């Protein structure tokens, strides 16, 4: 095609009319190598190719340098592109959809808070209490199994809601959790909003959550107004951070209350499934790699012993400074590919590395293709935490489980801390036996049977 050659649109195949290559794309998603869709085309057309999936023309990039440019998004050329049902549910003012200077401001406020050492120091105790409580309760169902993928959410969901809204255990937490489970059912569904449809029920669940969130935020605002800046102290949660703009003389405009309420619910979406799935897959990979488990246990036992001898409490930095543990987490994130790709849409013609991405087309920056490319990772399908002894995670275009650039995940540190604390208490206090299970990749990564495991405390093993 002459026009495309001149314009430099990457080579590729647009497939059948209407459905394009969607069926191939989905079929690959159901296999144990979802990346085979990309691999097949990459070997035929090169690292960047065109296709047509899910009703839209798409440029797929499996090239880490191209991905980096897309994610950095200088000049706000690439806008987030979500399926219609997600757009409907999260709304236009969500951090997931806003752009430009408002996005930069909100992202910076939230990321700054979520990455702050003060928050990590404070939340460490809550995570520890929650992890220890859950592990103890799982071991009491012995000899029966628990479904790890579901049970871990009992740790991560309350922590997430605490970080966002300072909600503690109680009725509000229960209702938020229940309604959120209903809400997310509509994220991937047929986008019809009639009574009885999934999307309709999902929007109703969001309304119920909104009522609670509005009440909590109104109360916090009222309490805050009674206090001086000094009395207020540092922010306790994400709401405080966004409300804080009210008293900030440098802020050009306060963020509307409605905006804050909606965003608190919408922030639960990327935070809720991702961390528990990573924890579940870490346990799965460790079950299948006894040598890694034994190294991990040894490193964590050493820390536990030190803490017992000195009678000191754990600091968040203790957990995060265990080198092998961090390597296990890196390797889990690389191999699990919880977020397999990032979708964007261009508003004008853009050229990257000689490839033209025409206005109105989608770009799919495939993270999985890079994570599973043997050019960057030897034996990419093997769980090998030791490989990270020689690879740096800083400024590494070939490792982007949390995305990058303007929309780099603001939860990156908090989720790493949660995973580290969980692994520490699991391997130093318990042993487990996991039943056979397999990873499924479509539409999202999870364990087919939710990873049933039987957990036994070490002291019980000692006395047997």
Q: Which residues are annotated as a binding site for heme?
A: 409
Closer residue to ligand HEM, CB minimum distance, 9 or 367? 367
Q: According to CB under 6 A, which one of 216, 410, 439, 455 is a site residue for ligand HEM?
A: 410
Q: According to CB under 6 A, which one of 83, 270, 358, 452 is a site residue for ligand HEM?
A: 270
User: Measured from the CB of residue 160, what is the shortest distance to ligand HEM in angstroms?
Assistant: 6
Closer residue to ligand HEM, CB minimum distance, 152 or 453? 152
Residue from 156, 316, 317, 116 nearest 236 by CA: 116
- Among the residue ranges 19-27, 337-345, 354-362, 391-399, the one whose residues contact ligand HEM (CB under 6 A): 337-345
C-alpha distances out from residue 387 to 51, 203, 376, 437, Å: 34, 45, 11, 25
Stated length of the chain: 464
Q: Would you count residue 242 as binding ligand HEM (CB under 6 A)? A: no
Q: According to CB under 6 A, which one of 35, 48, 58, 338 is a site residue for ligand HEM?
A: 338
Q: Would you count residue 271 as binding ligand HEM (CB under 6 A)? A: yes
Closest residue to bound ligand HEM by CB: 411
Closer residue to ligand HEM, CB minimum distance, 94 or 428? 94
Residue from 217, 214, 205 nearest 175 by CA: 205
Report 45-104 residues binding ligand HEM (CB under 6 A): 80, 95-96
Q: According to CB under 6 A, which one of 20, 34, 186, 401 is a site residue for ligand HEM?
A: 401
Burial readout 183-221 (b: 16 or more C-beta within 10 A, e: otherwise): bbebbebebeeeeeebbebbeebbebbbebbbebbeebe
215, 219, 225, 226: CA torsion to nearest 10: 160
**Per-position DSSP letters for 342-406, written without gaps between them:** EEEEESS-EEETTEEE-TT-EEEEEHHHHHT-TTTSSSTTS--GGGGGS---TT-TT--TT--GG
User: Measured from the CB of residue 435, what is the shortest distance to ligand HEM in angstroms?
Assistant: 24
Q: Would you count residue 384 as binding ligand HEM (CB under 6 A)? A: no
Q: Would you count residue 267 as binding ligand HEM (CB under 6 A)? A: yes
Pair of tokens at residue 321? 């400074």
Q: Count interface residues toward ligand HEM (CB under 6 A).
A: 24
User: Measured from the CB of residue 197, what is the shortest distance to ligand HEM in angstroms?
Assistant: 27
- Among the residue ranges 42-50, 189-197, 211-219, 270-278, the one whose residues contact ligand HEM (CB under 6 A): 270-278
80, β-bridge pairs: 344
C-alpha distances out from residue 30 to 36, 51, 76, 367, 442, Å: 11, 19, 34, 18, 6
Composition of the chain by helix, strand, coil, percent to 5: 55, 10, 35
**What is the contact surface with ligand HEM in residues (CB under 6 A)?**
80, 95-96, 107, 114, 160, 267, 270-271, 274-275, 278, 338-339, 342, 401-403, 407, 409-411, 414-415
């Amino acid at each position: 095609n002459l026009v495309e050659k001149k314009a430099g649109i990457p080579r590729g195949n647009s497939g059948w009319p209407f459905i394009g290559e969607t069926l191939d794309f989905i079929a690959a998603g159901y296999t144990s190598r979802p990346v085979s869709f990309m691999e097949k085309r990459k070997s035929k057309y090169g690292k960047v190719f065109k296709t047509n999936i899910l009703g839209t023309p798409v440029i797929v990039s499996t090239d880490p340098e191209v991905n980096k440019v897309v994610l950095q998004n200088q000049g706000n050329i690439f806008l987030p592109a979500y399926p219609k049902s997600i757009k409907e549910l999260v709304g236009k003012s969500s951090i997931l959809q806003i752009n430009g200077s408002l996005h930069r401001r909100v992202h910076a406020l939230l990321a700054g808070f979520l990455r702050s050492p003060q928050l990590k120091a404070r939340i460490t105790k809550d995570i520890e209490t929650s992890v220890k409580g859950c592990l103890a309760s799982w071991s009491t169902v012995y000899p029966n199994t628990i479904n790890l993928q579901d049970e871990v959410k009992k740790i991560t969901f309350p922590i997430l809601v605490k970080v966002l809204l300072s909600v503690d255990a109680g009725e509000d937490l229960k209702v938020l959790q229940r309604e959120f489970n209903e809400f997310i059912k509509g994220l991937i569904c047929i986008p019809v909003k009639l009574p009885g449809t999934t999307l309709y029920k999902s929007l109703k669940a969001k309304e119920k959550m909104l009522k609670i969130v509005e009440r909590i935020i109104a109360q916090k605002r009222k309490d805050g107004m009674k206090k001086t800046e000094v009395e207020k102290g540092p922010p306790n949660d994400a709401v405080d951070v966004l409300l804080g703009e009210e008293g900030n003389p440098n802020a050009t405009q306060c963020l509307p209350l409605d905006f804050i309420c909606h965003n608190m619910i919408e922030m639960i979406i990327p935070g809720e499934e991702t961390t528990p799935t990573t924890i579940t897959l870490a346990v799965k990979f460790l079950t299948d790699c006894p040598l890694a488990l034994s190294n991990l246990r040894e490193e964590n036992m050493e820390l536990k012993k030190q803490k017992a001898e000195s009678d000191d409490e754990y600091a968040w930095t203790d957990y995060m400074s265990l080198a092998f543990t961090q390597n296990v987490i890196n390797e889990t994130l690389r191999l699990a590919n919880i977020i397999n790709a990032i979708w964007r849409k261009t508003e004008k013609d853009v050229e990257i590395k000689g490839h033209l991405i025409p206005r109105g087309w989608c770009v799919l920056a495939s993270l999985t293709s890079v994570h599973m490319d043997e050019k960057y990772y030897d034996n990419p399908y093997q769980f090998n935490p030791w490989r990270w002894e020689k690879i740096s995670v800083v400024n590494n275009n070939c490792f982007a489980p949390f995305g990058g650039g303007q929309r780099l995940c603001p939860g990156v540190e908090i989720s790493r801390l949660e995973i580290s604390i969980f692994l520490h208490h699991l391997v130093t206090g318990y042993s487990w036996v996991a039943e056979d299970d397999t990873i499924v990749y479509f539409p999202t990564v999870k364990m087919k049977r939710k990873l049933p495991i039987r957990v036994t405390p070490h002291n019980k093993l000692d006395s047997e």
